[in-house]
Copies of this chain bind each other. A is one copy, B any other.
């Protein structure tokens, strides 16, 4: 490398409960960790509202980003001993691993849906814009920041490098599965990472896995599948997300209606108006959001006030399973009944759908192509995983979606007013579950 950074005089370590230690040997990495944009990730939880379901899941994206870096460091160390690896790419790779999530804001999932922002775009802006991160990267060379951004954007020419960060089995996914399992305390999510790294073989376009390691790959895929259904799509978390996005919707709506907030929500203005700058964006973290949610508990608007109280005090919506395609008639009746009892169904009767593709392979024309996992036979032949593994085949390409209908059961069960209507609503809702 021709940059101004070299090796640290003495290796630095971070104590990490998942990987035991995170090892930093490069000045570049050390300085990137010290930037304010990277430190900001300490104020953004890794799993958004999941802590309302699994109280242990309070870890942040800072925590996870160090983990992804560490896994990449180990992959790179392994690969340097082998052929296909161009060691020049080492620091590009490590930086991309460390920074891949730097564009995430607070509660990204709901924010992106409501405000049409895109954390990948922000990642790019942070790496290429006027930031401390950018200044540090620049010391490695004029085109270094762009290389790092390209890896994360998957447009980097070296597809192997790209695949190590974004593919079916990449450093990102390996870390989050292990880490989220650790912090939630669930027993799923464990797999033998050390073995996966050992059987990983770099090829021109991506890493493949020795066929003898197939069961370790299967185990990884199954862990992912379990984590999706046990943790990521947990219906209680989705309830919190429903309320969260309805708060954002309502606040935006009120702003557009020239509603007078008690205090001007200055951090939100540019979000509401779609004119957010990098500087504005970097100020957003979970404390800011939670500050407003707490303030809004005292707003005059009944909906905003109620939703914020629900979120802060964790009085979430309950849910029933539903089949949105089949029940238009009931749906109409429910909406009318909600209006009748004074609950705006836009905010209080919400369908949420989840879907998951725990393993999938290339199907041309799909919006986001997912590269398949290949196994390498002793003969040199490559075989696509789902053709070799019954288990993976069973869950491949099956888009499993579940639909749930969320609503404030507490209000409906309080029958001092509209007793009749509420009883009918509850009947209709409970009948969904059949």
Contact = CB atoms under 8 A, between A and B. Distances in A.
A16 B219 contact: no
B395 A16 contact: no
Interface residues of A, number: 71
A24 to B, nearest CB: 13
Contact of A55 (B42, B52, B191): B42
Given A58-B63, A62-B55, A187-B190, A43 B290 contact: yes
A330 to B, nearest CB: 19
Interface in A103-143: none
Contacts of A54: 15
Contact of A222 (B52, B66, B312, B391): B391
A185 B16 contact: yes
A89 to B, nearest CB: 23
Q: Which label, helix, strand, loop or mixed, suits the secondary structure of the A interface? A: helix
A26 to B, nearest CB: 15
Nearest to A392: B394
B15 A185 contact: yes
A287 B294 contact: yes
A390 B397 CA distance: 12
Contact of A56 (B16, B43, B434): B16
Nearest to A393: B394
A355 interface: no
Contacts of A229: 215
B59 A198 contact: no
For the complex of A and B, list the 9 residue pairs with the smallest distance between their C-beta atoms, beginning with the closest: A394-B394, A17-B185, A287-B290, A287-B287, A291-B291, A187-B192, A36-B313, A17-B56, A15-B185
Given A16-B56, A36-B313, 19 more contacts: A13-B198, A16-B185, A17-B56, A17-B185, A18-B185, A39-B313, A40-B312, A55-B60, A55-B62, A187-B219, A218-B226, A219-B222, A286-B287, A287-B289, A287-B290, A287-B291, A288-B294, A378-B433, A391-B395
